[in-house]
Amino acid sequence: MKNQSARLLALALAIALLASCEKPFHQETEHYVFVSSNIALPYWQEAQAGFKDAARILGVKADFTGPDTYNPSDELAAFQKAVSQHPSGILVAPARPDIFATSINDAIQQGIPVITIDTDAPDTRRVLFIGTDNRLAGAESGTHMAELLHGEGNIVIIAIPGQLNQDQRIAGATEALGRYAKIKVTHKLDDKGDPRSANDQVSGLLDKKEKIDGILCLEASGGPGAAEALHRLSLESKIVFLAFDKNPETLDWISSGVIKGTIAQKPYTMSYYGLKFLDDLHHNIVREFKDWRNAPVSPLPTRVDTGTAWVDKTNVAAFHDAETNMIRSLGGPVPSQ
């Protein structure tokens, strides 16, 4: 019995020694970068939280970078700087896919996996896109608006034309609204991602006594700006206003009844799984081919739709709590409700 126990102990020690000599799966040098189109927006801060949580779980280094205003050229510069650091992988939300094409292709040529998030660059060699089906999300917005207006009225759309995901949402919303003969889109405003611009442009239309029955905002920043204009002029009960995304200000305006509802995306989910996909590529986890870099096709999905959620007064409290927890996890000030 003593000899058997001694042999078992020796075997256990040998296994432990072998395990201690094994090369760890993740190396200290593994470093991933997320390049956002506007790091100041709560939307992208939520994405940052997902990115950082995935990095913590995987045990890798992760940097979040990009301009603090909507500036495609500055975002491109941040992306090019990230490529020069030769990280293990890059997530990017290209505000203008056309100007990113050369740099994305260059990163792939260097063996750096690039995944687009939220906004796609389909004419590049990016490995995959993870985010919302924006045409479908725009159609959902338009359908909700048509139902709330009982199929008739004049609509103003607020967006950022020229940005691929925005153009897809505009197309989806326009198509959905076009099914209703008594609904007319009278204006398409470009707020350039600035709530002040949305406020000023909506205020200008209202000052001219334009007949507006509904306002459909298809990007995150314009919602709070336009909502403030409606509230200031006491028109919240006369104009149906729908927003996009779920930043804290938008949720506050839903709680107060100025915004009737919003289409909420899942930026945390996008970046969380985006980093996991990058990590899989870096380690060539999916072994359909020897190496993803010279494979005839990517071993990963081409597109991953993270879906949307409809937020209104019935469920806004739950989304408020989630946003508060996210902000707290990043160490930021928790807004009062």
Inside any domain, residue 206 = yes
Inside any domain, residue 60 = yes
Q: Are 192 and 234 members of one domain?
A: yes
User: What is the arithmetic mean of pLDDT over 100-114?
Assistant: 96
Q: How many CA atoms lie within 13 A of 97 on its CB side?
A: 19
Domain boundary residue among 198, 231, 264? 264
Domain boundary residue among 264, 287, 315? 264
Tokens, residue 239: 């104009």
Buried b or exposed e, range 253-262, using 16+ CB within 10 angstroms: bbeeebbbbb
Question: Average model confidence (pLDDT) for the chain?
Answer: 89
Give the domain range for residue 180. 135-264
Count of structural domains, the chain = 2
Q: Are 145 and 228 members of one domain?
A: yes
Inside any domain, residue 1 = no
Q: What pLDDT band is residue 304 in, cutting at 50, 70 and 90?
A: very high
Inside any domain, residue 11 = no
* Rounded Cα distance, 207 and 212, in Å: 12
Q: What pLDDT band is residue 288 in, cutting at 50, 70 and 90?
A: confident
User: What is the arithmetic mean of pLDDT over 3-8?
Assistant: 54
| Low-confidence winner among 7-11, 274-278, 286-290 (lowest mean pLDDT) | 7-11
| Low-confidence winner among 5-9, 108-112, 124-128, 196-200 (lowest mean pLDDT) | 5-9
With beta carbons less than 8 A apart as the criterion, state whether 158 and 218 touch: yes
- CATH code of the domain covering residue 40: 3.40.50.2300
Inside any domain, residue 209 = yes
Number of H helices, E strands in the chain: 11, 12
Q: Are 154 and 300 members of one domain?
A: no
Q: What pLDDT band is residue 42 in, cutting at 50, 70 and 90?
A: confident
Tokens, residue 258: 């100025």
Inside any domain, residue 26 = no
Inside any domain, residue 43 = yes
Q: Are 142 and 228 members of one domain?
A: yes
Q: Are 178 and 118 members of one domain?
A: no
Q: Are 149 and 59 members of one domain?
A: no
Q: Are 251 and 143 members of one domain?
A: yes
- pTM for this entry: 0.80
User: DSSP state, 337?
Assistant: -
Q: Are 161 and 43 members of one domain?
A: no
Adjacency order of strands within the sheet including 261-264:
182-190, 152-159, 214-217, 240-244, 261-264, 309-311
Q: Are 282 and 192 members of one domain?
A: no
Q: What pLDDT band is residue 41 in, cutting at 50, 70 and 90?
A: confident
Adjacency order of strands within the sheet including 89-92:
61-65, 31-35, 89-92, 114-117, 128-131, 303-305
Inside any domain, residue 218 = yes
Closest CA to 229 of 264, 261, 205, 254: 205
Tokens, residue 212: 């507006």
Q: Are 293 and 214 members of one domain?
A: no
Q: Are 175 and 246 members of one domain?
A: yes
Report the Cα 33 to chain-centroid distance in Å.
15
Q: Are 213 and 288 members of one domain?
A: no
